[in-house]
């Protein structure tokens, strides 16, 4: 009888061990083992017992049979990995660079000793009618927070406690008050349940507009024809994209298929989730950061067993192991949070295409400001493009004006608000309408420098300038280091040491100075340390508890504010000056989103973009809400500079505790690439034929931020239109690194990075 052997990846994150090892499958285990199972094996000279994953089973003995060891047994409680997950992990490993075990761990949820978090739920005890009459009463008494909860209770019988304290911003005291008077009951559970009970009032199904219908029909028809594809739905917020997703999902579920919906964590609002819950009842589940790892694992198990049809979550929900996935939806596909920041640095959009092809599923992307990548693929015909042009709930796009700050200064206006913005703010305050002021920066002021000698206060651990906070301390935004603000310049002793540029706190102060009595709310990295505080500020603003909301980029997402009729962007340029090839795209997205915040209700909105570069194409096209023209200019720039998506970029990042050895390693790796025959040949060819080389190398250099947390960072970039070529360079460098026992250095790869380092 023939023997069978298993290829096993050992569960140790070590580059040297990043290949399969072959083991004999003992007779008694022969019909118990399958690929993907977690097994115990003896390993190394000491035959230490460790865990590993079977990635293949066969009858060909690849090494000396006499030296081959046997599998000891199955890890009963281990996670078994599906074939498709192994294939996906292998693809991620190859295309983004990591060890196989790192890739497997990305794809497969860690089996945790399921430590369940306690979840509290609020349940309505009184009847709906009684709650409605209480609601009227608390509205009369202006108990806004209490009213918010009562309002919600008229629609839902049960609501998760965290949502009430977080997203609805109701205090624990107010909740207990309602409990005491017998309106609600607080129930404690240790299992995560859907916030909406099955049978809750179901979402009113809309009759799709012809444009919506065409999208949904095409996706479903092509799926049924066995030709699932990738689709891009380009439509402003409110144009009905979510309604299209839900229709497609509903039809997929009717076919017995499952769906994954990716939404950036910041946009996973109560309202969005409720729409899905109401439509799909308890066949839908959420995977978000409030779940413990054990609970995430549970959700995956439920998906595997077919207990749910739809999962909603951020990036990692893509790996939910559904038995028969039919569609993946990626909403706000342009969001940079879809790219993983740790190794393997995969992009969920690209990886979703792989997942879709493994399952024969459709992929639907949606955005108001599509990524250059997605739109470029649509232009090339690789993705089918649909455009939704109108807002379905009324609400005109706001009228936008650009205020040239240079002209303001010439006219003698030295305030941070242009004259037009001042007038409009005054008008809104009089009319009791709300305004949003948006700045692309946080902290009281930007960097602190000496006006006499130019010395800039920097973090001693990171190569970035410190920012001044109102408590009088200087802080580092990378590592959190802080020190008291010096009264004298540490270099020259001058007293003229101060900050420049406006931050959210300074805007708030100026605003109060100009409009005494104005009620403000401020939202930035400092006021939103926790996710709950973020939701609380948004809810308070939505409830009219302030006239003006001042904030950084985080205010442009999520909630709808129907009473906002004015948006002011205070310094549109700040994000343009970032030393990064995506800065124009990011600026365009931010400005478009910010401007789109005005006029969501019945009254028309106005937006003012203040800038020093009024002629910049990202600013002009955002003011006109003109994506197509922005795209045409931006793609030209990418083509000229050979930047993604026109070409591909591989960042090789070297981290080291020791500056000199990091520098040396970076130079060594870069030279290795330069010295290869084909690189040299490519270079001479390109000179001879006077054409661009197929591949080029930039650097190495210390990174823009040369040091973070006392770790030095170096980087070099490889550019090529041929992704495969970059993958092979990565493979070569990975092998080189494997053969070297790096002690104080670490090397990471980042394909088509979101930020230059
Ligand atoms: P998006 O996802 O593009 O922001 P939504 O799907 O959330 O857009 O739709 C915006 C609003 O329009 C929602 O209130 C939704 O209920 C409503 N809506 C969407 N499609 C229709 C339709 N076909 N008929 C009526 N209302 C619709
Ligand atoms: Zn000085
Ligand atoms: Zn620091």
- What tens digit of pLDDT does each residue of 158-176 get? 887 877 776 677 878 888 8
pLDDT tens digit sequence for 669-709: 999 999 998 889 888 888 888 888 888 898 888 887 778 88
According to the model, what pLDDT value does residue 444 have?
Answer: 38
332 lines ligand 1 (CB under 6 A): no
According to the model, what pLDDT value does residue 197 have?
Answer: 52
- Indicate the helix (H) or strand (E) that contains 252: helix 241-254
For the segment 312-330, the average pLDDT, to the nearest whole number, is: 94
Ligand 2 midpoint to CA 502 (Å): 22
Q: Which residue has the tokens 């232009």?
A: 379
User: Is the separation of the CB atoms in 325 and 257 below 8 Å?
Assistant: yes
Return the top range by mean pLDDT from 189-193, 254-258, 476-480, 750-754. 254-258
272 lines ligand 1 (CB under 6 A): no
Ligand 2 midpoint to CA 448 (Å): 11
Confidence label for 468 from pLDDT (cuts 50, 70 and 90): confident
Supply the angle between the helices 144-155 and 128-140 in degrees, to the nearest 10: 160
- The atom number, within ligand 1, closest to the CA of 239 reads 3
pLDDT tens digit sequence for 360-369: 999 999 999 9
Ligand 1 midpoint to CA 316 (Å): 26
Which residue lies with its CA nearest to atom 5 of ligand 1? 240
351: left (phi over 0), alpha (psi -120 to 50) or beta: alpha
According to the model, what pLDDT value does residue 757 have?
Answer: 64
According to the model, what pLDDT value does residue 631 have?
Answer: 97
According to the model, what pLDDT value does residue 19 have?
Answer: 79
593 lines ligand 1 (CB under 6 A): no
243 lines ligand 1 (CB under 6 A): yes
- The atom number, within ligand 1, closest to the CA of 207 reads 23
Distant-in-sequence, close-in-space partners of 702: CB < 8 Å, separation ≥ 6: 463, 663, 712, 713, 714, 715
Which residue lies with its CA nearest to atom 8 of ligand 1? 240
Rounded Cα gap, residues 446 and 552, in angstroms: 13
Confidence label for 445 from pLDDT (cuts 50, 70 and 90): very low
According to the model, what pLDDT value does residue 198 have?
Answer: 44
Paired strand residues for 662: none
Q: Which residue has the tokens 């994000």?
A: 575
User: Is the per-residue pLDDT at 467 higher than 70?
Assistant: yes
Q: Pick from 446, 91, 436, 110: which is nearest to 295 by CA?
A: 110
User: Is the per-residue pLDDT at 192 higher than 60?
Assistant: no
Rounded Cα gap, residues 200 and 203, in angstroms: 9
Distance, C-alpha 285 to centroid of its chain: 19
- The atom number, within ligand 1, closest to the CA of 236 reads 3
DSSP secondary structure string, 96-119?
H---HHHHHHHHSPPP----PPPE
Tell me the ligand closest to 711's alpha carbon: 3
* DSSP letter (8 states) at residue 524: S
pLDDT tens digit sequence for 570-620: 877 666 655 568 888 988 998 998 888 877 777 778 999 998 778 889 999
Ligand 2 midpoint to CA 244 (Å): 60
Q: Report CA dihedral (582, 557, 611, 605) to the nearest 10 degrees.
A: 140
Ligand 3 midpoint to CA 756 (Å): 19
Considering only residues 645 and 446, tell me which one the structure prediction assigns the higher pLDDT: 645
Q: Is 516 helix (H, G, I), strand (E, B) or coil?
A: coil
Rounded Cα gap, residues 607 and 597, in angstroms: 9
Ligand 2 midpoint to CA 487 (Å): 11
Ligand 1 midpoint to CA 242 (Å): 7
* DSSP letter (8 states) at residue 203: P
Confidence label for 110 from pLDDT (cuts 50, 70 and 90): low
Q: Which residue has the tokens 């028809």?
A: 221
Does a cis peptide bond (omega within 30 degrees of 0) precede residue 441? no
What is the dihedral sign for C-alpha 723, 728, 733, 737? positive
Token pair in block for residue 273? 């989730």
Q: Is 396 helix (H, G, I), strand (E, B) or coil?
A: coil
Token pair in block for residue 471? 């408590």
Tell me the ligand closest to 387's alpha carbon: 1
User: Is the per-residue pLDDT at 491 higher than 70?
Assistant: yes
Tell me the ligand closest to 395's alpha carbon: 1
User: Is the separation of the CB atoms in 95 and 59 below 8 Å?
Assistant: no
According to the model, what pLDDT value does residue 193 have?
Answer: 54
Q: Pick from 616, 623, 107: which is nearest to 400 by CA?
A: 623
Exposure of 276 by Cβ count < 10 A (0-12 exposed, 13-18 middle, 19+ buried)? buried
Rounded Cα gap, residues 14 and 708, in angstroms: 24
Q: Report CA dihedral (160, 165, 171, 176) to the nearest 10 degrees.
A: 10
Rounded Cα gap, residues 466 and 446, in angstroms: 8
According to the model, what pLDDT value does residue 386 have?
Answer: 98
pTM of this prediction? 0.82
Q: Is 456 helix (H, G, I), strand (E, B) or coil?
A: strand
For the segment 511-522, the average pLDDT, to the nearest whole number, is: 94
Return the top range by mean pLDDT from 7-21, 419-433, 452-466, 570-584. 419-433
User: Is the per-residue pLDDT at 86 higher than 60?
Assistant: yes
Q: Pick from 206, 164, 210, 202: which is nearest to 183 by CA?
A: 164
Q: Pick from 579, 670, 644, 568: which is nearest to 610 by CA?
A: 568
Q: Pick from 204, 21, 24, 9: which is nearest to 99 by CA?
A: 9
Which residue lies with its CA nearest to atom 15 of ligand 1? 240
393 lines ligand 1 (CB under 6 A): yes
Which of 217, 242, 269, 602 is the pocket-test mutation for ligand 1 (most atoms within 8 Å of CB)?
242
For the segment 552-575, the average pLDDT, to the nearest whole number, is: 78
According to the model, what pLDDT value does residue 622 have?
Answer: 93
User: Is the separation of the CB atoms in 239 and 206 below 8 Å?
Assistant: no
Considering only residues 254 and 236, tell me which one the structure prediction assigns the higher pLDDT: 254
- Indicate the helix (H) or strand (E) that contains 286: strand 284-286
According to the model, what pLDDT value does residue 63 have?
Answer: 85
Which of 392, 397, 602 is the pocket-test mutation for ligand 1 (most atoms within 8 Å of CB)?
392
Distance, C-alpha 474 to centroid of its chain: 29
User: Is the per-residue pLDDT at 756 higher than 90?
Assistant: no
Considering only residues 478 and 414, tell me which one the structure prediction assigns the higher pLDDT: 414
Q: What is the mean pLDDT of the chain?
A: 85
According to the model, what pLDDT value does residue 291 have?
Answer: 75
User: Is the separation of the CB atoms in 699 and 645 below 8 Å?
Assistant: no
Which of 240, 261, 262 is the pocket-test mutation for ligand 1 (most atoms within 8 Å of CB)?
240
User: Is the per-residue pLDDT at 127 higher than 50?
Assistant: yes
User: Is the per-residue pLDDT at 530 higher than 70?
Assistant: no
Rounded Cα gap, residues 730 and 750, in angstroms: 10
Confidence label for 387 from pLDDT (cuts 50, 70 and 90): very high
pLDDT tens digit sequence for 322-354: 999 999 999 999 999 999 999 999 999 999 999
Q: Residue length, the chain?
A: 757
235 lines ligand 1 (CB under 6 A): yes
Q: Which of 508-517, 529-538, 587-596 has the least mean pLDDT?
A: 529-538
CA distances from 581 to 53, 467, 575, 635 (A): 40, 25, 11, 11
606 lines ligand 1 (CB under 6 A): no
- Indicate the helix (H) or strand (E) that contains 120: strand 119-124
Which of 208, 211, 234, 238 is the pocket-test mutation for ligand 1 (most atoms within 8 Å of CB)?
238
241 lines ligand 1 (CB under 6 A): yes
According to the model, what pLDDT value does residue 657 have?
Answer: 93
206 lines ligand 1 (CB under 6 A): yes
Q: Which residues surround ligand 3, an ion (CB under 5 A)?
A: 459, 461-462, 476, 478-479, 481
Ligand 2 midpoint to CA 506 (Å): 24
For the segment 284-303, the average pLDDT, to the nearest whole number, is: 81
Cβ-count burial 309-335 (b if 16+ within 10 Å, e if not): bbbbbbbbbbbbbbeebbbbbbbbbbb
205 lines ligand 1 (CB under 6 A): no
Which residue lies with its CA nearest to atom 10 of ligand 1? 238
Rounded Cα gap, residues 52 and 59, in angstroms: 19
DSSP secondary structure string, 25-63?
--GGGTTT--TT-EEEEEETTTTEEEEEEEEEEES---S
Tell me the ligand closest to 494's alpha carbon: 2
Considering only residues 526 and 191, tell me which one the structure prediction assigns the higher pLDDT: 526
Token pair in block for residue 94? 């190859």
Tell me the ligand closest to 482's alpha carbon: 3
- Indicate the helix (H) or strand (E) that contains 185: strand 184-189
Other beta carbons within 10 Å of 173: 8
Instruction: For the sheet with 606-611, list strands across it.
Output: 399-404, 606-611, 564-569, 434-438, 548-551, 520-523
Other beta carbons within 10 Å of 657: 13
Tell me the ligand closest to 450's alpha carbon: 2
According to the model, what pLDDT value does residue 415 have?
Answer: 83
Token pair in block for residue 534? 């973020």
Instruction: For the sheet with 325-331, list strands across it.
Output: 284-286, 310-313, 258-262, 325-331, 362-367, 230-235, 384-388
Token pair in block for residue 302? 């439920």
Q: How far apart are the first and last CA of the chain?
A: 57
According to the model, what pLDDT value does residue 443 have?
Answer: 36
Considering only residues 417 and 267, tell me which one the structure prediction assigns the higher pLDDT: 417
Rounded Cα gap, residues 533 and 169, in angstroms: 8
Using H for helix, E for strand and C for coil, what is the string for 618-672?
HHHHHHCCCHHHHHHHHHHHHHHHCCCCCCEEEEEEEEECCHHHHHHHHHHHHHH
Rounded Cα gap, residues 349 and 343, in angstroms: 16
347 lines ligand 1 (CB under 6 A): no
β pairing state of 745-751 and 648-656: antiparallel
Phi, psi of 96, deg, nearest 5: -120, -15
| Maximum C-alpha span of the chain | 94
User: Is the separation of the CB atoms in 570 and 502 below 8 Å?
Assistant: yes
DSSP secondary structure string, 309-339?
SEEEESGGGGG---SSEEEEEEETTT-GGGB
Ligand 3 midpoint to CA 468 (Å): 14
Rounded Cα gap, residues 717 and 706, in angstroms: 16
pLDDT tens digit sequence for 347-380: 999 999 999 999 999 999 999 999 999 999 999 9
């Amino acid at each position: 009888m023939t023997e069978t052997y298993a290829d096993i990846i050992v569960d140790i994150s070590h580059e040297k061990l990043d290949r399969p090892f072959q083991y004999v499958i003992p007779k008694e285990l022969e019909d118990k083992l399958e690929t993907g199972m977690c097994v115990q094996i003896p390993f190394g000279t000491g035959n230490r017992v460790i865990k590993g994953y079977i990635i293949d089973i066969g009858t060909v003995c690849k090494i000396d049979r006499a030296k081959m060891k046997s599998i000891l047994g199955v890890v009963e409680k281990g996670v078994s990995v599906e074939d498709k997950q192994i294939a996906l992990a292998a693809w991620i490993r190859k295309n983004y660079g990591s060890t196989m075990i790192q890739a497997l761990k990305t794809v497969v949820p860690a089996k945790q000793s399921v430590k369940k978090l306690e979840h509290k739920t609020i349940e309505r005890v009184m009847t709906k009618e009684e709650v409605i009459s209480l609601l009227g009463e608390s509205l009369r008494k202006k108990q806004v927070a209490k009213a918010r909860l009562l309002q919600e209770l008229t629609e839902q019988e049960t609501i998760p406690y965290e949502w009430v304290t977080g997203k609805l911003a109701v205090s624990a005291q107010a909740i207990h008050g309602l409990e005491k008077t017998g309106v609600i009951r607080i129930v404690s559970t240790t299992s995560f349940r859907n916030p909406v009970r099955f049978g809750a009032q179901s979402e009113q199904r809309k009759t799709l507009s012809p444009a919506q219908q065409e999208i949904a029909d095409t996706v479903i028809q092509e799926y049924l024809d066995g030709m699932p594809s990738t689709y891009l739905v380009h439509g402003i917020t409110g144009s009905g994209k979510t309604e299209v997703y839900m229709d497609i999902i509903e039809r997929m579920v009717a076919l017995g298929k499952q769906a994954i919906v990716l939404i950036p964590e910041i946009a996973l609002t109560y309202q969005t989730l409720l729409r899905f819950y109401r439509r799909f009842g308890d066949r839908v589940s959420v995977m978000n950061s409030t779940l413990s790892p054990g609970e995430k694992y549970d959700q995956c198990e439920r998906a595997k067993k077919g207990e749910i049809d739809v999962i909603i979550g951020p990036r990692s929900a893509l790996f939910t192991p559904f038995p028969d996935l039919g569609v993946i939806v990626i909403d706000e596909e342009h969001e940079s949070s879809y790219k993983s920041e740790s190794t393997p640095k995969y992009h969920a959009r690209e990886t979703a295409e792989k997942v879709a092809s493994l399952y024969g599923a459709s992929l639907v992307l949606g955005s108001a400001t599509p990524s250059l990548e997605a739109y470029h693929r649509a232009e090339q015909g690789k993705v089918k493009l649909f455009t939704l042009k109108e807002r379905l709930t009324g609400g005109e796009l706001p009228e936008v004006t650009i205020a040239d700050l240079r002209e303001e200064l010439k006219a003698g206006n030295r305030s941070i608000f242009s004259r037009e913005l001042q007038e409009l703010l005054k008008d809104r305050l009089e009319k009791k309408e709300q305004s949003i002021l948006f700045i692309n920066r946080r902290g009281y002021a930007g960097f602190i420098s000496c006006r006499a000698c130019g010395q800039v206060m920097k973090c001693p651990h990171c190569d970035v300038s410190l920012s001044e906070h109102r408590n009088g301390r200087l802080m580092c935004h990378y590592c959190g280091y802080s020190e008291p603000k010096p009264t004298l310049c540490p270099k020259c002793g001058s007293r003229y040491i101060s900050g420049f540029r406006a931050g959210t706190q300074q805007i708030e102060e100026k605003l109060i100075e100009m409009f005494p009595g104005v009620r403000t709310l401020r939202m930035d990295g400092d006021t939103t340390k926790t996710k709950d505080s973020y939701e609380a500020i948004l809810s308070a603003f939505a409830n009219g508890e302030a006239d003006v909301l001042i904030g950084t980029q985080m205010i442009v997402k999520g909630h709808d504010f129907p009473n906002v009729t004015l948006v002011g962007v205070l310094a549109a340029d700040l994000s343009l000056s970032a030393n990064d090839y995506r800065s124009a795209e990011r600026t365009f997205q931010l400005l478009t989103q910010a401007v789109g915040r005005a006029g969501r209700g019945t009254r028309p909105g106005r937006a003012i973009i203040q800038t020093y570069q009024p002629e910049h194409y990202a600013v002009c096209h955002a003011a006109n809400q003109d994506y197509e023209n922005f795209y045409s200019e931006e793609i030209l720039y990418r083509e000229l500079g050979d930047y993604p998506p026109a070409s591909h970029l591989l960042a090789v990042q070297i981290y080291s505790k020791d500056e000199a050895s990091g520098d040396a390693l970076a130079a060594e790796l870069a030279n290795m690439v330069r010295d290869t025959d084909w690189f040299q040949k490519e270079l001479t060819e390109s000179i001879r034929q006077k054409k661009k080389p197929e591949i080029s190398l930039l650097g190495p250099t210390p990174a823009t931020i040369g040091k973070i947390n006392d770790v030095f960072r170096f980087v070099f970039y490889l550019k090529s239109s041929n992704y495969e070529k970059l993958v092979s360079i990565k493979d070569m460098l990975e092998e080189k690194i494997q053969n070297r026992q790096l002690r104080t250095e670490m090397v990471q790869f980042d394909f088509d990075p979101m930020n230059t380092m």
